[in-house]
Structure formats: C-alpha cells, structure tokens
Chains A and B, each alone.
Chain A
C-alpha cells in the first residue's frame, strides 16, 4: 500500500490529500521532510527546535494545501513555507545579543587565531577544527537577523546564485541583493568586533606579562 503511494506524482498526492487521504499526506511528509529539516537547520541549532519548526511547516502545508496551485514544484512551495515559518518563529523569540569575545570558548579563540595566521582555508580541515568552526559560525549567525543569516548561508556558504536564492526564499532578486549586501556587512562587522576585542585582550595580557 505504502509502495503505491511512493510511486505517485506530487500532484496526485496533493489531490488525494485534499480528498482526505491521510496516507497521501504522510507520503508528502516522508518525501520532503529531509529537505524541510535541512532548511530548518539553517535557522536552529538544537534538534528539538528543528523538529518543532519542521512539524509546524507540515501543519501549515496541510491547512494551506488547497492554495497550492501546482504552478511551481511542491518542494519549492514547502521550502518557502519553511523559510517563512522559521523566520516568524525566530522573530517571535527574544533577539540574540551581540556575541562578545568573552563568550568564546578557548577552542574558538584558538580557531580564530589559527584562521588569522593561515592564508588558505585548507588549514582547518581536521574534524575537530570543523566542529569548533561550525559552532562558532552558528553563534555568529545567531546574532544576525534571521533573513540575513539565511541569505548568507545560501549565497556565500552554498554558492547559490541571486536567482536561485530568490526562487528558494520567494523574495525578489533585488531584495535578495540588498539583503546579501547588508548581511555581509553585518557579519563582517560582527567578526571584526570579535577580532578587535580578542586583540585588545591579548595586548592587555602581554602588558601584564611585561
């Protein structure tokens, strides 16, 4: 029975779901939950929050399924719902404060030092470094508005074009360009502040040693 649904096209699954076929909607969830999870994880770090957001996305999709006109792909439609839902959840929560150098762990500070010293990005390829960097980038991204964080991850992180980012988010291309411009500046300034604060801290330590 489940195999029958796996062979159905998205349009058929949507039609069946609208007629009240729960298994058909279950197949939509099965088919697209990895994509929704992957997108939600760009906004949240904790697994329970990612899962909560993904569940909210599918609940919204179920109630709004009659509005899906089938012009674009179901995947694109669900991705746009994911973007809107995650941004709304983040907006409703308390904004994250600026990341201070005192918030960084020793490993993260060491990673920054190492990164400053290295010219190529190939110097942090071991798994431990990757984890430290992943944690650091998440913490920096959390200090940015959710839209900025998403656009940076899409364009600068994953190398998506303006057109692709526009299709993914449902925003106009000019909006994507403006957001990317502002987001890069915000992220650069956030990192620059960390570096300045870190240098200041090092200078103080050097003076104390002398």
Chain B
C-alpha cells in the first residue's frame, strides 16, 4: 500500500468509521513505515480528542440571558428611532420640500442667467454719461435716446435719495 494512499484514506474517512480490515492493513504497513505510523497515531489521537470534545458538558445559558437579549433589542430600537423619525418626516413632506427647492433653484437661475432688463441697461448708460453731461449738453451722447436720458436722470436721483 502506498503511503499517499494511506494518508488519503485517513483524511477521507472519519477514523472511527474505519473498518477492522482497513485498520489491520494500516497497522501492518505502519510497522515498516515510520511516516505512516506517525500519521496513523496522529489520526487516532485526533479522533480520540474529538470524541472527548463531543462528550463535553453542554454550556447552558444563564437565567438572565433572555432579559439581556430583550434589553439589547430595546437599546437597538432606541438607537434607530431618530433615523426612523426622519424617514417618516421625509415620506410625508418630500413633495413639498422638492417643490420649494425647485422654486429656489428657478429663482436663482432667473436672477443670474436671465438677460439684463432696461433698468440695468440704463444704469450702464449712466455709468458712461452723467446727468450733468446729459442736461447741460456737455459732451452730448450721440446714440442716447430720450427714454435712456430720462432713465439716467431718474436713476441718479433715486441713488441720491437712497444715500
């Protein structure tokens, strides 16, 4: 019998289930082969140890175990409460929150991205031509319309009043 074959049988089968024939063959072979003898002894001891382990006394739960588990469950549930409350609030009001967000975003877009109004244009014209120059006809602007001239004058007055 080859050593490898013996080792494979030892690994394949529960030692306690080896037949008498198999045991006799192993022992006969082990008498002349030190390596197989050691493997055989180790397998025998392993099996004996595992039998001892199987017969070890059962570990019983303490009398307080049940209440310990229930307390731990309650603690876990309490930890989850704020998250659960937020989830409930979100489920109830996500439509409202989303619509509010949409309005804010739309207003921001209109403020920053929309084309400038006439007033803004007047302000920029005002920056080029002062009221004095318009009224006193000093350095008269060539392409300024009456509406723009009035806008410049009113804007400057408005600013003066604010100041």
Q: 6 tightest A-B contacts by CB?
A: A157-B54, A157-B50, A137-B49, A192-B42, A133-B52, A41-B59
11 contacts between A and B (CB under 8 A): A33-B66, A33-B69, A37-B58, A38-B58, A51-B68, A63-B76, A116-B41, A136-B49, A137-B49, A140-B46, A159-B54
Q: B72: which A residues are within 8 A, CB to CB? A: 55, 59
Contact of B14 among A137, A156, A188 (CB under 8 A): A156
The reply to whether the CB of A200 lies closer than 8 angstroms to some CB of chain B is no
Does B53 contact A153, Cβ atoms closer than 8 Å?
A: yes
The reply to whether the CB of B51 lies closer than 8 angstroms to some CB of chain A is yes
Does A29 contact B11, Cβ atoms closer than 8 Å?
A: no
CA distance A38 to B43 in the complex (A): 26
Q: A40-B59, A134-B52, A181-B12 are in contact. List 16 more A-B contacts (CB 8 A).
A: A30-B66, A33-B69, A41-B59, A51-B61, A54-B65, A55-B65, A112-B45, A115-B48, A133-B49, A137-B50, A137-B53, A140-B46, A159-B14, A181-B11, A184-B12, A191-B42
CA distance A61 to B76 in the complex (A): 13
Contact A184-B45, Cβ < 8 Å, known A29-B69, A156-B16: no
CA distance A62 to B53 in the complex (A): 31
Q: A47: which B residues are within 8 A, CB to CB? A: 59
CA distance A74 to B137 in the complex (A): 99
Q: How far is the CB of A204 from chain B (nearest CB, A)?
A: 18
Does A195 contact B49, Cβ atoms closer than 8 Å?
A: no
CA distance A112 to B48 in the complex (A): 11
